[in-house]
Structure formats: structure tokens, C-alpha cells
Structure 1
Amino acid sequence: MNKTLTAALILSAGLLAGCSMNGPGNLKVHEVLLYGGTQERIVWVYGDLGQRAQSSVKLGGAAVELRPQVQDPLALPGTLSVNGKATYRLPTSPLSPKLSVTRDTRGLFNVAMNEGGTVYYTDGRSWVRLNATAGSGVSATPISGLRGAGHLTDAEADALGAALLNQGALAVTVLDEGTVPDAPLTTEPAPSESKRTALYILPGVPTLTVSTAPSTSPTTPGGHVNFTELASGNNAAVNTSAVQVATTQAAVNALYNLAYGRQTGRPDVPPLSGNDTVVGIFLGQRPTGGYSVRVTNASAQGGVLTLTVAVTAPGPGTLTTQALTSPWTIVRVPGTYREVRVMDPQGRPFQEGLGGGQVR
């Protein structure tokens, strides 16, 4: 085959490949750029394949294959799979911190930020939208997922909010998408609709103690003990799972040093009143967000206090904050005990070989 014919065939193949990038019918591209705790661009591609089994477009200059949607928590009605995945993913650029949030045990927030708009918060189980973007004692309103955030559709906001649940306490603020370091994703052919939302994610939002009167009824019939969560977070100075028990003010101070050791602006340590016992439960270092620990029940019998804890871990393929975490929780129970045991819901020791902590 002569060189002229070979060159013509190569050119023809290139032209055919270019013509195949005609995209699906009613092509729409919606992207959300995540900064802070999660550095990722998530792109939903909407369209109609008609009678075709697949189609192709270019996203950011890269040719991708579009097919019917796959089973995935981020798969939404009207979207197509991209290279076999529910969404198209790319890393985002680093961004300086944009948000500072703490929550107290009354459910009020202290908020400060460099820039941003509406602030959302989850304790890992449900979402609220803060009623102000800065200040102290800010109240919040329950909301479904991240609805109203940027240009997200309700379905996108619900799916993204669900993906960020079970990662402990975190806050999200809406950024001006025109000021973030990543340019809009180019699409060929041009879509009929293009939407772009930028969010900053702050993981490990601590819950701070608001002093309350101690319980006057430590134990109820059946051995149940009232308990109060004093604080919780995701960034303790503890690398392995541990349980710490405190019955003196000095021991409580040391407990808070462990819990807040990696954070600035540690809150005031609550005073230990009466015969209360304070217990800190530390999950230890974890590779990502998505982990948490909390006390679900307390009981006492024969001078032995038993705390039941629930530990949450991210499932396969879960969207997680990409940073080392060390989840913890601190609770207060009325009374003193000769032994403290921490168990999982199946009755197994929380920490292998724990055998019960000695009260100090």
C-alpha cells in the first residue's frame, strides 16, 4: 500500500471518529466540584440514546463512552453511564480552608468563613441548613440532603447528601463557582444545558458541651442509666482504639486533651460535678472519613457500668473525605463505678482485650 493511500485512510478514520462524537439526544452535563475534605469533580451526563446501545462525547478533551445507566447510589433518572460508571470523576485542585464550624449540645452553631454561601451540616445521620452564614448561636432547619445548594437538582442534592452521610459530623458551604481554581469542563458536542456547583466540605466538626444540671436519677428500673453526650469529633490525637474513664477534674482535662489534641480552638472543659463519671471512647486512626462512634445505651449492675456503642464505617464505593481521621465521643453518666465495660450491639468488647477500664 503506497504512502498516499495510507495517509488517506488514516485521515478518513480520524474524520469518522470525529463524526461519531455526536452525543446522545438532549445532552446535558451537570458537574459538582468538591473541595476541602473531598477533592473530586463529579459529573452527571443526561441524555437519550434512542435506539442506540451507546454514544460518545468528549469531556475535558477525553473521549468517553455513554451507555444506559448502571446500578449505583449516584445513578439518577435520565442520566447515562460514563465508561461503565454512574458518573464521570476527576480530581479537583487544592483550596485553602473556607469554613470553620462548631456545634454545641443544644444544636446551635458557631460559624466563620473566608468566603461562601449557605452552610449545611450533618451529624452523620441527617442534614440541617444553618439559618445564618456567620455568627454564634446560629440555629438550623432540617432539610433533605443538600437541597438548594448551588445549581444542584433536588435529585442530585439528595444523592450527594446521602453519599456524605455516615461519615461523622461535617459541614458543607456553597462556593462561588466562578472563583474556584478549576475551569468548567469542556464538552463536545456542546450540551443543551450545562450546570456547575462548587462546594467546600469541612469534616470532623466537633460538638461542644453546654453545661446542664446533673441528673438526679442516675439509674432507672431495669438497670438503665441516663447518659449525656458531652462532645464528639473525628480528629483525636489517638492512633489506636481506646477507652478512657475519668472521675476527677484532672482526668477529664486529660481526656479532652486527647480528643482535641489535633485541633486549634479547643473548647473549655466542662466541670465535673457530684459523683459523675466521664468516659471517652476512641475509635483510633482511620484512612478516610466515613467512620464514627457513638454511645447508644448505658446500664449498670453490681457497680459495673456497661456502655453500648455503635461504630459506623463507609461501605464499598462510598464517597468519603480523603483525610486521616480519628473518631471519638465523650459521655457523662451520674454515679461512680468500680468497673466500666464498653460493648458493641452484639455484646462483644469494643476493643479487643479491653476487659473493662479501671475508674480513675
Structure 2
Amino acid sequence: MRRILEVLMLLSLAGCILQKPPAYQVSEIQVLFSDATERWDYFYGNPQTIQLSGQNVRLERVAPQAARSVPDALAANGQPVLREVAPPWPAPLRASRAGAAIVVRGQRAVRSAWVYDKGWSRLTPQDGQNLLTPDTPRLEGLSEAENAAVLQEVLARRGGKEVVLYQLAQPVLPALGLEPAPQNYRITAVEVQYGLESEGAIMGGNSSEVRVLRQGASSAYTDSAPQAFLATSASSFAQLWALATGNILPRPAAPEVNFSRYSIAAFFVGQKPTGGYGVRFVGATSSAGNWRITVELLQPAPGTILTQALTSPYLILELPGAASQVEFVDASGRLLGAATAR
């Protein structure tokens, strides 16, 4: 009898031992579009409830049907992927055509790059040039299904334009604070460019190129109407820079500009009620100091989950030479804003 009681006691104590939560894994894809920065998180493992920033996230098995769904991934609160949409990341990489060659400019380290124009090709540096060889993107760190979901989304948004897809060497967003912590958390970051400008069109016949100094969606400009600016001195540029970066802490230092050789043009879209809005530089031409700059105004796609906060997109460009006037227009030639030197 005593032996039976001991066994029963041991079984009872075993039931009281805290069990570790079931393990799960996360595969995160950070996608930098021109109009938004998106985070997609796929969860794998056992169904369970985890916490993200104090909020419960239910991980459960469902039949994947929606866009970006991946076989074997757990649904997060009923969705095939946990998706976050934020304002676009500033200072993206940019590729342009220079004759038959493609030139990539930017400060971000890249693992690989591909171009889509009636089919995918890998962009490979060789002998000082970027060569194109037929090759479908295979993003490091992703499963075949995740890779296919990214490519499908990228091509679905291209609107007939050429695409440049960069796999970045480092993530741009910090990992999510998940409780309990996942057994494995891998992050893949990519940047997407729609449209390839011609170097000739960007230069407008000048020997120096137009350069994007900064762009973003959180300026201190609060008017709802768009506004153009043209700065030709250090003092006027300082005021312009403060307007663009006034909501950023700590405020980034303004880049050095030689105003004997360059001018600064800026376009502020106006305050918007949510994220998802932006402005993209398309091309520019000049004649006798008068610049005509074409931009694309970006808007959130219907049904997109958006950051519920006021945003104020802007674009700052460095122009070669002494500019006296600048006009910002859209692709149809509609005037969006104009400014004279100050």
C-alpha cells in the first residue's frame, strides 16, 4: 500500500512540473517598396497563443487561401501572414540605364540584385559594369514557397514597369518582441524599385546627375496642399532641412552642399491622414537654370493595412548648377508645385 501511495505522489508531482511552451519558428520578410515598408511574418510549428507587444496572437492551422499564403505556415489571428505596413524607408537604392548598361547607386549593402523586364535576369558586377544574365530570383534564407510569395507580390504591383529587386545584406527593422521567444527567427530584407530611368533623362543633358538627398514620409510640413522649394544658399537649405527632418529625433545632420556647383530642390506632398503615401523621383530636364522635375505621387492600395498616424511625405534633390526656377510635375505634365531661387 505504501508503495502505491509513493507512486501516486510522484505522478502528482510530475503533473505540477511547469511544461515548456511548444516551440515555434519565425521567418520574417522585410520588403521596402517605394510607397511603404512592409514586414511579413510566417510562423511554423505547433498551434499556440503567443504575445506581441502585450497583444495575443493565435497561431493555428488553416487551409491557406489568401495572397502571400504559404503551405505549412500557421495562420496568425486567422491571417496567412502577420503583416505590418509602415512609411517608406528613406534613401533607397536606385538603378538607372546608362546606354546598354545599368548603374546602381546607394549606400546600402546588397547580397544580390535582379531585374524584371519580360522576364527575370540577375544583375552581376563584372569589369566595372553590371551584366544581365537570365535567372529567377532565389532569395537567401527563404523557403521555395516564401520566395514564390515575394515574387508574386512584387510583380503584381509593377503596373507594367520594369522591376529591380535587391536582397539587402542586413535587415532594416528590428526583430519583433515575441513572448515566448521563437526557437528560430530568421530575417530576409529586400528592396523593390519600379521603373528604370535613363541616365540621359535624369541628367537633362548635363554632365552631373540629379541626386536624391533624402526622402521620407514624416516631415514637419503640416499644410495639406503640396509645396515646392528651391534653395541656393546654406541658410535657405538649413531651413528646408529643418522642415524635412523636424519630426526626427535625434535630427540627422544636413549633408554638405557646395552651392557654387549645386542647388537643392524639394517637394512636400502635404499632410496625409495615414501611412502609405509618398513621392518618387522619376526624371528631370533643365534649360538655362529652369528645371522641370517629374515625380510620381504614391497612394495606398485599397484594402492595405495602414499606419494610423499623420504622415507628410517629401523629396529632396540635389541639382547640378545654379538653378533659378524649378517645377514639379506628374507623368501627365500636370503642375504640382513651383519655386524660384531663395
| Residue number in structure 1 paired with 2:340 | 358
Among 217, 222, 235, the alignment partner of 1:234 is: 217
For residues 36-74 of structure 1, the C-alpha deviation after alignment (integer angstroms, 9 at most, x for no partner) is x9998844579xxxxxxxxxx96429696834x3241x1
SS of 2:171's equivalent in the other structure is strand
- Asked whether the equivalents of residues 174 and 199 of structure 1 are also in contact (C-alpha less than 8 Å), the reply is no
| Residue number in structure 2 paired with 1:23 | none
Question: Shift of the alpha carbon at 1:348?
Answer: 1.4
Query: Counterparts in 2 of 1:1-360, with a 5 A limit?
Result: 31-32=26-27, 42-43=41-42, 59-60=48-49, 66-67=62-63, 69-72=64-67, 74-76=68-70, 78-79=71-72, 87=80, 89=82, 107-108=106-107, 147-148=140-141, 152-156=142-146, 159=149, 172=171, 180-183=177-180, 196-197=184-185, 220=205, 226-239=209-222, 240=224, 241-263=226-248, 264-274=250-260, 276-301=262-287, 304-318=290-304, 324-350=310-336, 354=337, 356-360=338-342
**CA separation of 1:357 and 1:108: change in aligned 2, threshold 3 A:** closer
- The one-letter code sitting in structure 1 at the alignment partner of 2:228 is V
Alignment TM-score, normalising by the size of structure 2: 0.52
- The one-letter code sitting in structure 2 at the alignment partner of 1:244 is F
- The separation in 2 between residues aligned to 1:161 and 1:324, in whole angstroms, is 31
Unaligned runs of 5+ in 2: 1-22, 31-35, 51-57, 85-89, 95-104, 117-135, 158-167, 190-202
Question: Would you say how many aligned residue pairs link Structure 1 and Structure 2?
Answer: 247
User: Whose RCO is larger (CA < 8 A, sep 6+)?
Assistant: 2
- The separation in 1 between residues aligned to 2:175 and 2:145, in whole angstroms, is 21
**CA separation of 1:38 and 1:295: change in aligned 2, threshold 3 A:** closer
- The separation in 2 between residues aligned to 1:65 and 1:183, in whole angstroms, is 19
Question: Shift of the alpha carbon at 1:315?
Answer: 2.0
**CA separation of 1:265 and 1:314: change in aligned 2, threshold 3 A:** same
Of Structure 1 and Structure 2, the greater strand share is in: 2
**RMSD of aligned alpha carbons:** 5.4
Alignment TM-score, normalising by the size of structure 1: 0.49
Percent of residue pairs identical = 22
